Structure 1
Amino acid sequence: MRLVGGLAALACGLILVGCTTGAPRNTAGQVTATASINPFQITLGDCTGPMKEGDIESLQVVPCGDKHNYEAYAVTKLSVTTFPGEAEVTKQADKFCTAEFRTFVGLAPKDSKYDMFYLYPVESSWAAGDREVLCLAGSTKGGVTGTLKGVAK
């Protein structure tokens, strides 16, 4: 699984090693306290801390009411059975996340002050069954509070 920034073109590899525990969540599934989790544990609506460039063993989730960097706003599963190559996966991920960003934030990524990032499967995670693309909106500078849904900024 790899993280790519749509506007900043920041690429971060996700190496899924190390021990992480799940995030504390309420009955609605919302994160209730900051925690370090495996990137595969991020769910739609979760908010995260900063993303590091390079290999990532875990990601920090943060309650969305607290200051955070990104919010997971859309998710899809790629339908092809054979790994189509990283270029094709990123093409599909970018197309999906760009369309969903417009719906979620209210503006196209190129017109927004917020950045679009996405997690997508790479060949090694594909072999393990990973087909998920997870889209994130936010700011590398942090300071986002609450949801970005409908902010149109």
Structure 2
Amino acid sequence: MAIRSPRRSLRGISALVALFAIGAVGCSEVSDAVDGAKDGAKKVARQRSVFSLDVGDCYNPNGKAEGTAYAVEIVPCDEAHEGQVVAEFAIDEGKEYPGDEGVSAIGDERCPVEAQKYAPDTWALPKGVSLFYYTPTKESWATGDRAVSCTYTAEKGTFKGSLETAKSLEPEQVTYLEDSNAVYEALWANQPEKDAVEDDLAGYKAQAKAVADALDTHVEGLGGIEGTEVGKLRATLTKAAGDWKKAADAADVDAFYLAYDPAFTGIDPNKTVAARKELGLATTVPADEAEVWAG
């Protein structure tokens, strides 16, 4: 979901003009109007161009979360807000604008990876928060704009507090999250275009190999972490890795399905809850993941 952002600034009404606009009204109405004017002035003072956003900024969009944006309202993270910038990177492309679909594809690929460096435990994100990004438009590209700002934004309502967790994690927590995230990234990033295995056996086998390789790394990482539940999870994922390898080496569609069913079940996020609890990580499976495995 690209949030388009051409190079323009937002001009707001000054506090003085807002106060003068109150006019001759009753005392209570004047008080309400003054308070409203102060709130309006505060919002104006907090306006910042989308081109000067920094990682860690908490903000409220001016209007809908999606669409063309010129500026946002920057707020302290301990106040209710709709979004937070969690990553930023520059598009390394040629002189030609990649097109709307092109920059969206880059955001789709890079933002999940970059965002996890700031907030590695996606299970700990507030309910209803999704990954969005600000990208260049054709017009801003012509002025030299190449920046993509990745944000977690509430699809409804607001949330409080910073989403940054990377700095507070212990080494074993980081190892677990990086390797676990890589497994699911391998699964979804390598999803074949065809819905049926019969129509793209090679594509599904390639996906299976990517997941198996990621699982091998995850199992190796778990070997360096102490804990009874972590040990149980390591055994579960070792078997799952074997099933994914069988799927990757399947000679035909039937053999693939025989291996794929237990392979997919073996990486069900619900199987990781006990180990996550032991490691002091979030233990509630996100709704979107729970829905996938329930279906």
TM, length-normalised to structure 1: 0.71
Distance 2:134 2:3 in 1: 9
Q: Does 1:130 align with 2:121?
A: no
Q: Which residue of 2 aligns with 1:69?
A: 82
Residues 34-53 of structure 1 mapped to structure 2, 5 A cutoff: 35-50=46-61, 52-53=63-64
Equivalence for 1:18: 10
1:148 positional shift = 1.5
Which of 89, 92, 99 aligns to 2:106? It is: 92
What per-residue deviation string (whole Å, max 9, x for no partner) do you get for residues 101-151 of structure 1?
34425238xxx7421110001111010000000000131333311112348
Q: Identity percentage over the alignment?
A: 26
* Residues 27-78 of structure 1 deviation map (CA, whole Å, 9 limit, x = unaligned): xxxxxx7511211121111001145234434211111111111110000001
Q: Which amino acid aligns with 2:92?
A: S
State the one-letter code of the partner of 2:76.
P
Higher strand share: 1
After superposing the two structures, state which structure 1 stretch, 82-91 or 120-129, moved more: 82-91
Structure 1 runs (4+) deviating above 3 angstroms are: 11-15, 53-57, 150-153
1:79 aligns to 2:113 (yes or no): no
AA paired with 1:96?
Answer: R
Q: Deviations over 1:73-116 (max 9, x none)?
A: 000001112222221111011111122334425238xxx74211
Q: 1:38 to 1:95 in 2, by over 3 A?
A: same
The structure, 1 or 2, with the larger RCO (C-alpha pairs under 8 Å, 6+ apart) is 1
Helix, strand or coil for the counterpart of 2:134? strand
RMSD value, Cα: 2.6
> Which of 57-66 and 139-148 deviates more?
139-148
Residues 75 and 134 of structure 1 are in contact (CA less than 8 Å); yes or no, is this contact kept in structure 2?
yes
**Larger helix share, 1 or 2:** 2
1:30 aligned partner: none
1:140 aligns with 2:132: no
Q: Against the structure 1 CA distance between its residues 45 and 101, is the aligned structure 2 distance closer, same or farther, given a 3 Å change threshold?
A: same
Stretch moving more, 67-76 or 52-61: 52-61
Unpaired runs of 5+ residues, structure 2, are 13-41, 166-280, 287-295
Q: Describe the SS at the equivalent of 2:104.
A: helix
Q: Report the TM-score when normalising by structure 2.
A: 0.39
Q: Partners in 2 of 1:88 and 1:62 — Cα distance?
A: 31
Does the CA-based 8 Å contact 1:115-1:137 persist in structure 2?
Answer: yes
What is the rounded CA distance, in whole Å, between the counterparts of 2:76 and 2:68 in structure 1? 24
Higher-Rg structure is 2
